[in-house]
Amino acid sequence: MPPRHARGHTSDVLSREVGYVRKPHGGRLRVALAFPNTYFVGMSNLGFQTVYRLFNELEDVVCERICLPPKQELQAQLASGKPLRTIESDTPVRDFDVIAFSVSFEWDYTNVVSMLRLAGIPVRAESRTGRDPLVVIGGAVTFVNPEPLAPFADVIAAGEGEVLIPSLMTAIRTASDRDDLLRRLAGERGFYVPSFYNVRYTADGAVAAFEPKPDTGAPGVVKKAAVKTTERMDPPSTRIFTPDTEFGSRFLIEVVRGCANLCRFCWAGYNYLPVRAFPADRILELAREARSHSGRAGLVSIALCDHPEIEHILSGLIEMGYSISPASLRLDDLTEPIVRMLHQSGERSITIAPETGSDRLRRVINKTVTNAEILEKTDLIFANGMENLKLYYMIGLPTETDSDLESIRDLTVGMRDIMLAHARPKGRIGRIVASVNPLIPKPGTTYQWLAMEDPAITDRKAKRLRALVADLDNVYFNIKSERHSYYQALLSLGDRRVAPAIEAAERNGGNWRAAVAEAGVDADFYIFRDRSGDATLPWDIIDGGMKATFFRAEFDKGLREEWTLPPKRSAENRKFLPVLS
Ligand code: SF4
């Protein structure tokens, strides 16, 4: 059934929700919280739900939601000029003091532009005045590279909402006018005001420097803001329940933030450090409160088993009668009680990420498990009743050869054989589904200087792998081509000169090839160029806490096929960190 919101009846939407907040506007700062995708997607986004709660917990703030209208309505609404209105009070967004975007994916960049247009607000910050709402862009993309969105944002909020929202509100309450507000924010940790910088470029087109404009008080680099400890903090969790969303009325909750493994390609691993566990008792309390609205708990964490009390949390959820869906599980921490409890709660499938098939290449990328351990854990998984396995692999990794592709096949066959050995006596055979994606070198990782692999080579590898796995029974491979990732890589690795292509793609309905041509953007320049000689990278304006010297040393270590073993205790990896002191 399509979400009611698709029909544009916001009162219908609210009538199907539990947990939304209505406050009188009078005397309060009004924040329109924007999710740049549909309601159906947004309401399953924990970041969006959490920022809504954090704003509304402030007595003098009223926060209401806006989402992108569904495709069939969007064009009509853009053509009619009917203004975008908030879900809670049906108020035009233009009347709000702040529009705060929570952006999680590069593909949503065009939707940011659409929503500004729908709201009747100038798309570019340079065209706005103090009478327009302040446009703030935050969310997971600010951890990677917010620079392609820079021309659209008055302010980019880089880091974690728990720290950023109180600072944002204090600055708004005390500022005398828009200019004063931007200056105050530029002086706060985690706030990047793009218009306060001139970007200088080298003769070959790379970024040479971000130069703060005189008299703005803007810092040379903006330090990301992150909470120091989550020991006494409420974990992000679903606060508004609705059946009209991707994960239905699943109760989503963040269990632990960060991952200690430091895989060399993984932006989330490096950028959410240090590992911070949320209090187990509070997780269980929130789950208890939500139980009447939901029977399924979705545990959102990149390294769930890094929580020191994960077994206690799982058994508590089972006692409450929840079925449990974990996100991808890190292999090395998977224990027999964990798998048993997940099975007991109704789960029949587990997702793990071997990333590649050979121990050698896993040492290159610092995925610190071996094939022997993977097969051992596979046995544990199927011995405890699981029926299916979902795997993530990558191709296009540094130093990868054909023999590594053969290892992907061999490892998967080894896992399949273990599955069959456990399944045959039961007479019910599950399946293994493997997703294979080309590596996109990400900002804020060891591979941030690396060019993406030549598409002809990646395509040949994809073809070779398809042939290698073509006739495997009970195993299904979904191998993505380079082309699929090309424009995503542009948005991930680009700078503010990519913004005109985002605007063009928004106008032409997502035809990126035409958009890039119209905007005169050389996408290959951003995607296939070795950046190791660049003095400054487009994302260097944000200091995520990791040092370039560390990444360079890690890269060299990778080429020597050496691991950097994960510091298991969060206290040990604190030294890397962007935490507040
Ligand atoms: S195990 Fe590696 S890939 Fe997975 S979240 Fe941790 S650092 Fe990232």
Would the CB of 341 count as within 6 Å of ligand 1? no
Spatial strand order in the sheet of 388-395: 349-355, 388-395, 432-438, 475-479
| Rounded percentage of the chain residues whose pLDDT exceeds 90 | 82
Instruction: Say what the pLDDT of residue 332 is.
Output: 80
| CA 45 remoteness from chain centre | 10
Which atom of ligand 1 sits closest to the CA of residue 265? 3
Locate 575 and state its tokens. 């030294």
Q: Which residue, judged by its Cα, is nearest atom 2 of ligand 1?
A: 263
Higher pLDDT residue, 468 or 576? 468
Which CA distances in Å does 475 have to 223, 357, 423, 460? 45, 15, 14, 21
pLDDT tens, 16-44?
999 999 999 999 999 999 999 999 999 99
Pairing of strands 349-355, 323-326: unpaired
C-beta of 66 in contact with ligand 1 (< 6 A): no
CB 389 within 8 A of CB 435: no
- 61-80 pLDDT, tens digit each: 999 999 999 988 888 888 88
pTM of the model as a whole:
0.93
Give 102-142 pLDDT, tens digit per residue. 999 999 999 999 999 999 999 999 999 999 999 999 999 88
Residue type, 266: C
Confidence of residue 95 (pLDDT cuts 50, 70, 90): very high
Task: Report which DSSP code applies to 530.
Answer: -
- In single-letter form, the type of residue at position 110 comes to T
Q: How far, in Å, from the CA of 236 to the mean position of ligand 1?
A: 20
Query: At which residue do the structure tokens 């293994």 appear?
Result: 432
The arithmetic mean of pLDDT across residues 265-288, rounded, is: 94
Atom 1 in ligand 1: residue holding the nearest Cα: 261
What pLDDT band is residue 559 in, cutting at 50, 70 and 90?
very high
pLDDT higher than 50, residue 6? no
Give dist(CA 161, CA 358) in Å, integer.
Answer: 39
C-alpha span between 390 and 406 (Å, rounded):
19
pLDDT higher than threshold 90 for residue 186 = yes
Residue written as tokens 């507040």?
580
- Put the strands of the sheet holding 251-254 in their side by side order: 251-254, 296-300, 323-326
571 three-class SS:
helix
Query: For the packed helices 371-383 and 336-344, what is the interaxial angle rounded to 10 degrees?
Result: 40
Q: Ligand 1 within 6 A of 245 CB? A: no
Tokens describing residue 200 = 């200088």
Res. 566: pLDDT tops 80: no
Tokens coding 184: 């105050």
Reference 565, options 369, 409, 418, 311; nearest CA is 369
Whether 169 lines ligand 1, by a CB cut-off of 6 Å, is no
- For residues 218-242, average pLDDT: 94
Dihedral angle at the C-alpha atoms of 318, 322, 327, 332, nearest 10 degrees? 10
Query: What tokens appear for 568 in the block?
Result: 């298991």
Q: Which residues contact 373 (CB under 8 A, 6 or more apart)?
A: 331, 332
The pLDDT score that the predictor gives to residue 294 is: 95
Cis peptide before 274 (omega within 30 of 0): yes
Which pLDDT score is estimated for 578?
A: 42
Nearest to 518 by CA among 530, 533, 534, 506: 506
Sign of CA dihedral 263, 269, 274, 280: negative
Q: Rounded distance, CA 395 to CA 407, Å?
A: 12
Q: At residue 326, what is the residue type?
A: P
Residue 295: per-residue pLDDT = 95
Confidence of residue 84 (pLDDT cuts 50, 70, 90): very high
d(CA 104, CA 192): 18
303 lines ligand 1 (CB under 6 A): yes
Question: Which residues are CB-contacts of 206 (< 8 A; sequence separation ≥ 6)?
Answer: 531, 534, 535, 536
User: How far are the Cα atoms of 76, 132, 134, 460 from residue 82, in angstroms, in the given order?
Assistant: 9, 18, 21, 49
Q: Relative to the CA of 259, which ligand 1 atom is closest?
A: 6
Model pLDDT for residues 137-156, shown as the tens digit of each residue: 999 988 789 999 999 999 99
319 Cα–ligand 1 center, Å = 30
Residue 298 has pLDDT above 70, yes or no: yes
| pLDDT on residue 481 | 74
Q: Which residues lie closer than 8 Å to 321 by C-beta, 6 or more apart?
A: 291, 295
In this prediction, residue 555 carries a pLDDT of 96
Q: What is the pLDDT of residue 568?
A: 55
Dig out the tokens for 485 from the structure: 């990732």
Distance, in Å, from the CA atom of 258 to the CA atom of 384, rounded to the nearest integer, reads 27
Q: How does residue 565 score in pLDDT terms, banded at 50, 70 and 90?
A: confident
DSSP states of 235-276: PPB--SB-SSSTTTT-EEEE-EE--SS--TT-HHHHHTPSPE
pLDDT higher than threshold 90 for residue 59 = yes
Q: Summarize the confidence of residues 504-509 as an average pLDDT.
A: 96
Read off the tokens for 213: 């404009």
**Alpha-carbon torsion, ordered 65, 70, 71, 76, to 10 deg:** -80
Cα–ligand 1 centroid distance for 142 (angstroms): 19
Average pLDDT along the chain? 92
CA-proximal residue: ligand 1, atom 8 (nearest): 269
- More confidently predicted of 485 and 337: 337
Q: Work out the percent of the chain whose per-residue pLDDT is above 70.
A: 95
Nearest CA to ligand 1 atom 7: 269
- Asked if 564 and 262 count as a contact pair (C-beta separation under 8 A), the reply is yes
Residue in the structure block whose two tokens are 């951890």: 143
Name the pLDDT band for 305 (thresholds 50, 70, 90). confident
CB atoms within 10 A of CB 336: 11
What is the three-class DSSP state of 35? Answer: strand
Which pLDDT value is given to residue 1?
A: 38
The CA 250 to ligand 1 mean position distance, Å, reads: 24
Quickly state the pLDDT bin for 484 (edges 50, 70, 90).
low
Does the CB atom of residue 268 touch ligand 1 within 6 A?
yes
Ligand 1 centroid to residue 342 C-alpha, Å: 21
CB of 195 closer than 8 Å to CB of 176: no
Q: Is the pLDDT of residue 482 over 80?
A: no
If pLDDT is split at 50, 70 and 90, which confidence band does 9 have?
A: low
Residues 6+ apart with CB under 8 A from 323: 295, 296, 297, 345, 346, 347
